[in-house]
Amino acid sequence: MSKAVTEEQVPKHFRSNRSKLSQWLGQTVLKSMGWKVSGNIPNEKRILIVAAPHTSNWDFVIGMGALLGLNAKIRWIGKHTLFRPGTRWFFSWLGGIPVNRKDPSSLIEDVSSMIKRDKG
């Protein structure tokens, strides 16, 4: 039985450090929902992936399944209300960057700081 997604689809410099359990969880989520990731992430120094517009909250579940299954180090932007005490660590671990849609003024600075940190 073929896998819905594998970390071999990701260049080594884009791979994360997630456990085999979280990779299995991502693969299982995708497979159980009938999704499969085709192709590979390009082997470039940096890439930008735009996934928009999302049409339901299931898009998040599918996207995170792909992120975990690929074992990819991907950052994504989410509404700040997701990042409440108790869940902030989880969404940050998944690569989330909170943004207040009513006042997104610090978003560029936050993303820029994260990129500088990740280079080191």
The model's pLDDT over 36-47, given as tens digits with 9 standing for 90+, comes to 999 999 999 888
Q: What is the mean pLDDT of residues 7-13?
A: 94
Q: How far apart are the first and last CA of the chain?
A: 39
Closest listed residue to residue 69, CA positions, set 33, 34, 19: 19
**pTM given for the model:** 0.81
Q: Given a cut of 90, is residue 11 above it in pLDDT?
A: yes
Mean pLDDT of the residues in the chain: 88
Torsion angle of C-alpha atoms 97, 102, 105, 111, degrees rounded to 10? 10
* Residue range 21-64, pLDDT digits in tens: 999 999 999 999 999 999 999 999 888 787 777 788 899 999 99
